Copies of this chain bind each other. A is one copy, B any other.
Amino acid sequence: MSFGRLIESIAQKKNPTVAGLDPKLDFLPEYIKESAFAKFGNTLEGAAQALFEFNVGMIDAIYDIVPAVKPQCAYYELYGWQGMRALAHTINYAKQKGMFVIIDGKRNDIGSTMQAYSCAHLGEISVNCEKITPFGGDALTVNGYLGSDCIEPLISVCNSSDKGIFVLCKTSNPSSGELQDRLIDNVPVYKAMGLMCEKWGDATPKKYGYSSVGAVVGATYPEQLSELRRDLPHTFFLVPGYGAQGGKAEDIALAFDDKGMGAIVNSSRALMCAYKNSGCDERDYAQAARAEALRMRDEINLFIPPMSLS
């Protein structure tokens, strides 16, 4: 239940990280693009085919050591509905390989519309009595600006289908404080949002102490990360901002509890572009990503307590 499956996979692989799959064309090896464009032309179809092939290589290289992937919707929408097809195929492939899939969509809307997003990304729909799973993610990132009725339809799906959500609290970007750090009744907005996550999580079962309602808290703000870990004891964290955005492993450690649990750390560009950063042949991009995934795992494990599910 809740984030139990994810937590168990993190413990089994001794790896609290998630591979971000944000495959913009610039990040892809030339040989993959050339092959796709030769077959499908300089089209969205060609771009989407290149994305999917790249993702398959990434997943094949890391699925036995990394518990989860996080495809960023924007980089699939960027290539139109063909890109969204590549997203659906990527999710399906990652799940076949036993990975936990966090769809990074930061969706938000009024209740009836969130019902649709919930079914689209985490649940299923009925088409003339045929049950179909549109995207089939395990978790979805969402934005809580609209309050509880934006979140409630998600909680139904989490409870009925063993899924989770991550609500934006303190985001990793430079201007996140413009709204999120402002005080309401002496509490910053990011913390007020975090406290709502705790409340929303009360309506879900807990496993290993954590509810189905997680929070996004950026590694680039270690002080807030530490504060939120202390004040939100049942809220599992998705932590972006490590690596390319500047977050360090010692900062990351603040996201974890005293059992070495409670968070999963994302890395996107550092993995996808590992072949560029290491200067290896582009055809070795997947192995370069694996090496970086191992390095990241080991570096983070240096700073957190030994993992224990007990």
Contacts and interface: CB of A to CB of B under 8 A. Distances in A.
Interface string A51-94: 00000000000000000000010110111111111011000000
Interface stretch (A3-11, A36-44, A285-293, A294-302): A36-44
How big is chain A's contact interface, by range?
35 or more
Interface stretch (A112-120, A206-214, A275-283): A112-120
B132 A83 contact: no
Contacts of A44: 127, 132, 134
Given A80-B134, A83-B134, A189-B189, A177 B75 contact: no
Contacts of A111: 173
A240 B110 CA distance: 11
B175 A127 contact: no
Among A37, A42, A106, A144, the one with the most B-chain Cβ atoms within 10 Å of its Cβ is A106
A145 interface: yes
A179 B144 contact: yes
How often does this chain occur in the complex, in copies?
2
A3 B168 CA distance: 30
Given A46-B128, A74-B116, A120-B74, A110 B147 contact: no
Nearest to A121: B77
Interface of A: 22, 24-25, 33, 37, 42-44, 46-47, 72, 74-75, 77-85, 87-88, 106-111, 113-114, 116-117, 119-121, 125, 127-130, 132, 134-135, 143-150, 168, 171-180, 182-185, 189, 192-193, 196, 240, 245
